[in-house]
Amino acid sequence: MLQFDLLATEGHARRGRLTLNHGVVQTPIFMPVGTYGTVKGVTPRSLQEMNAQIILGNTFHLWMRPGLDVIAQFGGLHRFEQWKRPILTDSGGFQVWSLGEMRKISEEGVRFASPVNGDKLFLTPEVSMQIQTLLNSDIVMQFDECTPYETKGHVTTEAEARASMELSLRWARRCQAEFARLANPNALFGIVQGGMFEPLREASLAALVEMGFPGYAVGGVSVGEPKEEMLRIMAHTPHRLPAHKPRYLMGVGTPEDLVDGVAQGVDMFDCVMPTRNARNGHLFTRFGDLKIRNARHRSDERPLDETCTCYACKGQTAADGSVSGGFSRAYLHHLERCGEMLAPMLATIHNLHYYLQLMQEVRDALDAGRFAAFAQQFRADRQRGV
């Protein structure tokens, strides 16, 4: 089940509406990452309050823990983690790739030792589809090989990238066949690979489009390549994907990357950056990034961002009109220095709210036909400094 309606365009930028089995997603959208069935540091209620429309789950990690028997008992990931809105699950390919020498890739799939208990495991396109069917995620990603930018200092050659890309295409066909055999009622996305080589990207894209997936992702970026290389592929590939289907740029990135990605025709983004950085005291704001551990915030009474309406910055109004929250930089600095768990919780709420609000402003600008002007103001604001 997937329906994509294109509502407006401005250059390559697109405004759309994505209808899935568990709800409607307005695009362009940022998707918070929930690796183990939870977005770290926030409750499902907080995610709903900040209007997270769709979140991610991680096929590999959920297979390891709690295991498929437990999730099957709950009828899928939605009931297990008490999230009623859409979920996208990755295929496990990136996690297997990140195991490095602990895994062995063949035509059939990937053999590896479980990082949890050392069990010998075999992940194939078919197994990935079986796991994701059990998870009942609204969007299922094909099992692919994530082409590295370099391995032990050796930059991937065009021949190596081609072999990797062609393996992913063969796996895509197997994923499609298994997805159909399982009668999965959700949507399967293909993933464009090809490393840093535009001709390989075009070959991958053409083959996947011929297979007729309901949606497409651009993978194999943000895997250690220089930023300018990532931006080059981001400028090349997304707008070449079918206009009537959703486009997903995997694992990207900074606020600037999101706005640039929208300008290149991307509809969907995910990245661990807002949650991971929050746990390290790194905050994103309209006027640039802020490192709350720095001594200059020790007695600063201002909120993280005076224009932000998240709980950390503005607090919450109760039924009797009283306001709670609206924490100062000084207080958050204090929590960080003391190692209090409230520090990363508030920072995560703020960062995710900022990312989701940024995408809301992008959608509003596209609705009004003023995305180019918005992007220019966005960059000027971010460069102003906090």
Side-chain-side CA neighbours of 223 within 13 Å: the count stands at 26
What's the rounded Cα separation, in Å, for the pair 196 and 226?
A: 10
DSSP per-residue string spanning 169-212:
HHHHHHHHHHHHHTT--SEEEEEE--TT-HHHHHHHHHHHHHHT
Residue pair 88/138 in contact (Cβ under 8 Å)? The answer is yes
Q: Which helix (H) or strand (E) holds 345?
A: helix 342-367
What's the rounded Cα separation, in Å, for the pair 125 and 173?
A: 9
Side-chain-side CA neighbours of 317 within 13 Å: the count stands at 3
Task: List, by residue number, the catalytic residues.
Answer: 90, 270
Residue pair 246/222 in contact (Cβ under 8 Å)? The answer is no
Distances (CA, A) of 129 to 132, 189, 270: 5, 12, 21
> Cβ–Cβ contacts within 10 Å for residue 337, how many?
15
What's the rounded Cα separation, in Å, for the pair 382 and 361?
A: 14
Exposure string over 225-256, b if 16+ CB within 10 A, otherwise e: beeeebbebbbbbbbbbeeebbbbbbbbbbbe
What's the rounded Cα separation, in Å, for the pair 333 and 9?
A: 42
Cα dihedral 126/132/135/141 (nearest 10): 180
Radius of gyration of the chain (CA): 21
Residue pair 147/164 in contact (Cβ under 8 Å)? The answer is yes
Look up residue 212 and give its two tokens: 């007729």
